[in-house]
Structure 1
Amino acid sequence: MPRNTSSSNCSSVDVTFQSTLYAATFTIIFIPGLLANSAALWVLCRFVNKKNKAIIFMINLAVADLAHVLSLPLRIFYYIKHTWPFGNFVCLLCFYLKYLNLYASIVFLTCISVQRCLFLMNPFKAKYWKRRYDAAVCIVVWMVVGAACLPFPIMRSSGLGKNETTCFADLGLVKPSVPTAVAMLTIAELSGFVVPLVVIVYCTWKTRQFLQNEEHLVEHSNEKQKAMRMVLTCAAVFFICFTPYHINFIFYMLVNLNIIKNCTVLNISISFHPFSLCLASINCCLDPVLYYFMASEFRNKISRNGSTVMHRRLMSRESASSVKE
């Protein structure tokens, strides 16, 4: 990222702290993110045949988080050593995985919120919904998000040919024409942030409204409360991790394009950019909270089923012993 401002009228912005910030943040979230998402994949895959629709989306969300987490050691190495010996391809791949995780997480969180909300209010739709429909949605999501994230590493590849020892925040930024950049920024913000934000807020509001109706709380209230907590968690992860980044990213790009030249806005956007990226990375540790709700739901079902099976076995043994007597 730039270490000075885009306008000669503004004083230089010192962002040398970002290497320490990135190294510390990635070190802190690596172990919890790796353990939590690996355990989540193992647990979720065990229950993949259970009758719960959101599990397919959660498995894909865990895969997206794990892909980013596995690239963190290379990022930590670079920000500590300030050199990159792993080649251009690995550099751009790690850079790509960051944004793939960011936008795949946004879409899968949106899918979980929508599905939970719809199936809570329309249980008959949940009954007839096929798991393969979720799998098809996930394939489309990976294809669309994967293609949409390609411009991020492409726009940061300008300095690779000149200096192969730099990567990530120290890469140059390819500046397209202003109309092209504004169009790309608008599409990215609308499709990757504004629309998911509106959908998640609406689903959270509708779910809360539905659960506040006493008529609907008479039956299966525990499961419905878990659905509410899951939707609220989706909204919380979205607001904490992704909202600061996307709001600041608008000003950050306009500053780099010399469209915004106000020194105050320029200084704030460039200085806050590293912090917003760190917040976006924390989602790898917050997403497993969703998996906890899912695992507890399965655990309750298994305990109920296990109690039923045990009861039947005891009854059959008592019947057999009475026959022998």
Structure 2
Amino acid sequence: MMNSLNCSETDLKPYYAITYTFILIPGLIGNTLALWVFYGYMKETKRAVIFMINLAIADLSQVLSLPLRIFYYLTGTWEFGGALCLFCFYLKYVNMYASIYFLVCISVRRYLFLIYPFKFNDCKRICDVYISIVGWVVVCVGCLPFPLLRLHQQNTTSTSTTTTCFVDLPVQQIELPASIAMMTIAELAGFITPLLIILYCSWKTVLSLKEKNSASHDLGEKKKALKMILTCALVFLICFAPYHISFPLDFFVKTKTIKNGCIQKVISVFHVVALCLASLNSCVDPVIYYFTTDEFRRRLSRQDLQDSIQLHNLSYVRKHSREPLREDTMDY
């Protein structure tokens, strides 16, 4: 009796709604502000700004879908059609793995710029653009199995009066060997390999700090690079490690491979916590930008904000004024 009581199902949807509500406003403001700042100093630095822009875009795309998620987890019904449900569901995983990809790119870029400054100082920004495009393509294609495994099941239950979405979408039954193969590929490509790369960059950067022939200027740059890389590693571990531990376990629960009720309950609760931590990445990344990027803090300073507003107002006046500006009013 006690076991059945302890292992009874509980509604975990309110926890999703609370977490997404907490993330929504800070994530929206932080990532919008980040895009504005990065656009403003794109020409001033080569230190992974393209990757930071793409990371902010990935975070913002997830934040914009949160109101629909909050509505579903508060009401328990989905009234916006199956296609939009699967797209929002797919967008969650695209954001997560795009964030992982660009966190790795930022770490590698800062490491290479630090260790090989002359070789990568002249690296054209277009290279980072191509790397970003390839990353988006790989992530978008790699995340397709997430909605596809639920597409058939959703179609077979589409006549139900209450349409389900997100965590309530049933998973298509597939054979155990295929499940294990998919889990292994996802864990290796989406988590273990990126984690090893970030840890390697952190380790090599720490070793570079111990070099005795480093000048004071180089030492300062190395400390900045190490702070950026270690912060990426910390966010990676906090936000994405729990999910990739719970992901295969939750998959086996949903496919009924794990049948014990108590174990299913523990895994389900752990998976909810892991998903909430993974979503928290969307409002944590702007904090990374602020505390690890000098240009970000400088542009958000009061004086830079005033200069930007004045420059914007002057450009607006010049663009919309019907009379040509006199030479004595030009701001040089």
Q: CA deviation at 1:129?
A: 1.1
DSSP-derived class of the 2:44 partner: coil
Measure the CA separation in 1 of the matches of 2:81 and 2:6: 31
Q: 1:184 to 1:210 in 2, by over 3 A?
A: same
| Closer, same or farther: CA 124–59 of 1 in aligned 2, 3 Å | same
- Tell me, yes or no, if structure 1 residue 17 matches structure 2 residue 11: yes
Structure 1 residues 299 and 238 mapped into 2: Cα distance closer, same or farther (>3 Å)?
closer
Change (3 A) 1:10 1:206: farther
Cα displacement string for residues 79-128 of structure 1 (whole angstroms, at most 9, x for unaligned residues): 11111111111111110110000000001001111111121111112212
Q: Give the match for residue 154 of structure 2.
A: 159
Aligned residues between the structures: 296
What is the letter of the counterpart of residue 159 of structure 1? Q
1:13 CA drift (Å) = 4.7
**Match of 2:207, as an amino acid?**
Q
RMSD: 2.5
Are 2:100 and 2:190, in contact at CA under 8 Å, matched by a contact in 1? yes
Given candidates 49, 52, 59, the residue that maps to 2:43 is 49
Change (3 A) 1:55 1:120: same
Alpha-carbon distance between aligned partners in 2 of 1:215 and 1:264, rounded to the nearest angstrom: 59
Kindly tell me: are residues 132 and 244 of structure 1, through their superposed partners in 2, closer, same or farther at Cα, counting changes over 3 Å?
Answer: same
Which among 271, 274, 298 is matched to residue 272 of structure 2?
Answer: 274
- CA deviation vs aligned residue, 1:201-220 (integer Å, no higher than 9, x gap): 11111112212334325224
Residue among 149, 155, 159 paired with 2:143: 149
TM-score, normalising length: structure 2: 0.82
Normalized against structure 1, the TM-score is what?
0.84
Aligned match of 1:232:
230
Name the residue aligned to 1:80: 74
Change beyond 3 A, Cα 1:298–1:152:
closer
Partner of 2:103: 109
Q: Which stretch has the larger CA shift, 220-229 or 148-157?
A: 220-229
Aligned AA (1:284): S
* 1:1-325 mapped onto 2 (5 Å cutoff): 13-157=7-151, 158-160=153-155, 161-163=158-160, 165-260=163-258, 265-293=263-291, 295-297=293-295
Hey, what's the Cα distance between the residues in 2 that align with 1:204 and 1:148? 27
Q: Per-residue deviation at 1:285?
A: 1.0
Identify if the C-alpha distance between structure 1 residues 97 and 12 changes in structure 2 by more than 3 Å, giving closer, same or farther. Answer: farther
Q: Using a 3 Å threshold, how does the CA distance of structure 1 residues 89 and 301 change in structure 2: closer, same or farther? A: closer
Letter in 2 for 1:201: L
Residue aligned with 1:159, SS: helix
The gaps in structure 1 that reach 5 residues or longer are 1-8, 307-325
